[in-house]
Copies of this chain bind each other. A is one copy, B any other.
Amino acid sequence: MSTTTVTGLQQELQNKIDNKTKPVGSLGRLEEIAARVGVIQQSLQPHISNPHIIVFAGDHGIAATGLVNPYPQAVTAQMVLNFINGGAAINVFCSQHNIQLCVVDAGVIADFDPTHYTGIENVATGKIIHAKMGYGTRNYLQEKAMTNEEVNNSIEKGKEIVSAIHAAGCNCIGFGEMGIGNSSAAALIMSAITKLPIERCVGKGTGTNKKQFITKIETLESVYDMHIKTMAQPLSAIDILASFGGFEIAMMTGAYLEAAKRKMIIVVDGFISTAALLVAQAIDRSILENCFFAHTSDEQGHEGMLYYLQAKPLLNLSMRLGEGTGAALAIPLIQSAVNFLNEMASFESAAVSNKD
């Protein structure tokens, strides 16, 4: 395909799609997906191989205060163990769809038993990938959540992890996260990048009641005001991540950049994952060419993020769980698009009459 221009390839893909035994356009968005995957892979026979979801876990200094999160900080580590024991929603959906799940300790406040850990070189062991950049971020009520060095190291680590997974034959990837308090980091990042006011960016997160929600908004407004004064204009992606965190979001930012560089299909999950994408596309806008948006999250700010990115997600099931669960449910739709392109008969091959 190397001598085919993208425009020529796009036309060839469209012809192939239009000659399948179905009315033109009748597979709707699956047709768009098939064509886009073909362009990403520069192929008339694109394929999905060894799809993965990486869940990046990290703790947030703010969470110890209880001002923004109804669940205790300890839940981050507890859920990481739930992931490796197979008990979380993301385990169920990955298992259903033969998606490999990788869990990364990007900066959980607790240490896990050493037997639970593995290195980046063994991404598919079902253990926790040891990529700990710190024991939770600092509390951004008092100081920056991370140093610029921590941000850069986290981004690099995210790139390394995706490189290792790509080397294992994966060409389709989604990112999820676990981190008590990280919907607040995501809201702050969203506000900094989209310029929408904090109250438009803050959602209830996981299980916040009305009073907690008001406290969350007020807390994050004061945090935003405090930090924004100290940051150079125009805001840099690194500064935004350093101010608000977290390790898992920074690592995910690197993961997006590397996945696009390696021409992987990227399936974007919900609010926190899309916050990391906001940062990544601020660094390199072209990565969006590789992104498919899995779903519209029920977390309030997500629609604003999608609007900013002009993204049209595949699913809208009122989910707001994170972990990559939306991505896991959308990957089969992308697979369906690739499959119809490769497996359906053409009018000619099936001896079906086309319209006049």
Q: Which residues of A contact B (CB under 8 A)?
A: 20-30, 70-72, 74-75, 78-79, 81-82, 85, 87-89, 91-93, 95-97, 206-207, 298, 314-321, 325, 329, 332-333, 335-336, 339-340, 343-345, 349-356
A258 and B235 alpha carbons, distance in the complex (Å): 63
Does A92 contact B336, Cβ atoms closer than 8 Å? yes
Contact of A21 among B72, B82, B314, B317 (CB under 8 A): B82
Contact of A81 among B314, B343, B350 (CB under 8 A): B350
A186 and B110 alpha carbons, distance in the complex (Å): 61
Q: Which residue of chain B has its CB nearest to the CB of A351? A: B78
Q: Measured between C-beta atoms, what is the minimum distance from A138 to chain B in Å?
A: 23
A329 and B314 alpha carbons, distance in the complex (Å): 12
Contact of A71 among B207, B318, B339, B353 (CB under 8 A): B353
A27 and B88 alpha carbons, distance in the complex (Å): 12
Q: Given A23-B206, A29-B319, A93-B340, output 8 extra A-B contacts at Cβ < 8 Å.
A: A30-B319, A70-B355, A72-B353, A89-B340, A92-B344, A96-B335, A329-B333, A329-B336
A335 and B92 alpha carbons, distance in the complex (Å): 10
Does A87 contact B336, Cβ atoms closer than 8 Å? no
Q: Is the interface of A mostly helix, strand, loop or mixed?
A: loop
A4 and B96 alpha carbons, distance in the complex (Å): 31
A92 and B345 alpha carbons, distance in the complex (Å): 10
Q: Measured between C-beta atoms, what is the minimum distance from A217 to chain B in Å?
A: 19
Q: Measured between C-beta atoms, what is the minimum distance from A79 to chain B in Å?
A: 6
A74 and B355 alpha carbons, distance in the complex (Å): 11
Q: Which residue, of A30, A72, A97, has the highest number of chain B Cβ atoms within 10 A?
A: A30
Q: Which residue of chain B has its CB nearest to the CB of A314? A: B317
